[in-house]
Amino acid sequence: MPERSGRAGPAMVVAQKYRILATVSLLLFLLDQLTKWLVLRSIAYQEVREVIPHILNVTNVWNRGAAFSLFSEWSAYLFIVISVVAVGFIVYYFSRIDDAQKWVVWGLSFILGGAIGNLLDRARLHHVVDFIDLHFGEHFHWPAFNVADVAITMGVGFLIYDMFKGDRGKRTG
């Protein structure tokens, strides 16, 4: 009978990596789509509802471009193609990473969930629904965003953290 060391073997680590990817990206995708559905159902286009005075509004605006509505005059189909290529690259890169790079696994899982959420909007609606409207008084107003954008930003943050502090980022010396 083989001896058990209590450690997960390589197949277990790989399976866990893909379970994290599937679960996290699916949950973030569903949360993104649910929140957008609620906004589309209950808030008219360009309507603003104050949640926390001078800090947070919920609105319904449509982003036909990239982040912060950049390049909004470009064709919706071009952004769909770019999004599909990005999702493909994320999945490909995920399959090539070291299974033990937990911050990269989580980061790519967050990015994938957000990317698929915004991709579905572009394919279905030809725009992305943004609704979180942050501002601080009259002096600072951030462009509206959504749950998918938060997931992508957090995922990038995890990747940056891994670059400096993660398993690969440890310096010898």
Report the range of poorest mean pLDDT among 38-42, 115-119, 139-143, 150-154. 139-143
Angle at Cα 164 formed by Cα 82 and Cα 27, nearest 5°? 50
Which one of the listed residues 32, 121, 133, 149 is annotated catalytic?
149
Asked if residue 2 belongs to a domain, the reply is no
In a domain, 9, yes or no: no
Establish if 15 belongs to a structural domain: no
Residue of 130, 133, 162, 167 with catalytic role: 130
Total domains, the chain:
1
69-84 per-position pLDDT tens digit:
555 555 677 888 889 9
Q: How much is the pLDDT for 172?
A: 44
pLDDT over 70, % of the chain? 81
pLDDT the model gives residue 43: 98
Range of the domain at 101: 21-64+71-165
pLDDT band for position 45 (cuts 50, 70, 90): very high
pLDDT tens-place string over residues 142-160: 999 999 999 999 999 999 9
Relative to beta strand 140-141, strand 128-136 is antiparallel
Q: Are 147 and 28 in contact (CB under 8 A)?
A: yes
Tell me whether residue 32 is one of the annotated catalytic residues: no
99 is an active site residue: no
pTM: 0.83
Does any domain span residue 54? yes
